[in-house]
Copies of this chain bind each other. A is one copy, B any other.
Amino acid sequence: MSPATSKRELDHPARHEIRLEAVLHALSDPVRLRVVGELAAADGELSCSYFDLPVTKSTTTHHFRVLRESGVIQQTYRGTAKMNGLRRADLDELFPGLFDRILQAAALQGARLGH
C-alpha cells in the first residue's frame, strides 16, 4: 500500500502488490461480484450511491473497501462523490484473461439460476 497523502486520497495497492488470492477473495462474495459486473457493464466509473445493493450502508462501504484493497477497483473522490472504476489494465496485465472469465462465469450462473 502506498500511504495516503490526505484523508481524501484512498490507499490502493500498486500493480505489483496485487495478489491473486486477494482478488479471488474479493470476488467470492455475491454482492461484490454484482458490483464488478455492473462496473464492467458501465465501462467507466460509477459512484457508490449508484448501486442499489441489498445490504446496509456500512456493509456497502466494507464491500467497496475489500474491492479497493485487493486491487480490483480504484476509488477516487470527485467533489462529494466517491467514484469507482475497475482496474482492468492492471488485472489483465497480471492475470491475462482471468477477469473476463470470472465475469462470464458470473453471467452464466446468473442466467442458470434465473437472476
Contact = CB atoms under 8 A, between A and B. Distances in A.
A113 B85 CA distance: 27
A25 interface: yes
Interface residues of A, number: 25
Interface string A75-115: 00000000000000000001111100110111011001000
| Most chain B beta carbons < 10 A, residue from A19, A28, A108 | A28
Secondary structure dominating the interface of A: helix
Interface in A34-82: none
Contact of A95 (B16, B20, B24, B105): B105
A33 interface: yes
Nearest to A30: B21
A28 B33 contact: no
Contacts of A109: 19-20, 94-95
Given A98-B101, A101-B101, A28 B25 contact: yes
Contacts of A106: 20
A101 to B, nearest CB: 4
